[in-house]
Amino acid sequence: MLAAIVRWSLERPRLIAALAALFLIWGVAYVRDLRFELLPNLTPAETTILTESPRLSAEQVEDLVTRPIENGLVGARDVGQIRSKSIQGLSVITVRLAEGADPYRAR
């Protein structure tokens, strides 16, 4: 079977070359219009909120700054996960957005 296909192809080189050129043109046109990212971003979208609170202890930063911000973010749309850390004079809140959320709109 394969020998017959090879023999038929060798008997018609112009037809095979024309078909190969058509497939090449079609493939180039298809790939040119294809929308894909060469290196897609595999990490989920996230944003970080840094809040400075000079002269406050870690416990005060937690109570007065971090918790109110977290409570405001809990019900927000496209929020997947919230992590926070409070140290003396500084509150760091990391918000990981839900899968498929538009990072620019969610921020």
Whole-number Cα distances in Å, 12 to 6, 15, 26, 77? 10, 6, 21, 63
Q: Tell me: the pLDDT tens digits for 47-73?
A: 899 999 999 999 999 999 999 999 998
- What was the pLDDT predicted at 75? 80
- What was the pLDDT predicted at 44? 79
| Structural domain 46-106, CATH architecture | 2-Layer Sandwich (3.30)
Q: Tell me: the pLDDT tens digits for 2-24?
A: 999 999 999 999 999 999 999 99
Residue 79 · residue 71 · CB < 8 Å: no
For residue 107, pLDDT beyond 70: no
Give residue limits of the domains in the chain: 2-33, 46-106
What's the pTM value of the predicted model, to 2 decimals?
Answer: 0.59
| Mean pLDDT computed over 29-56 | 84
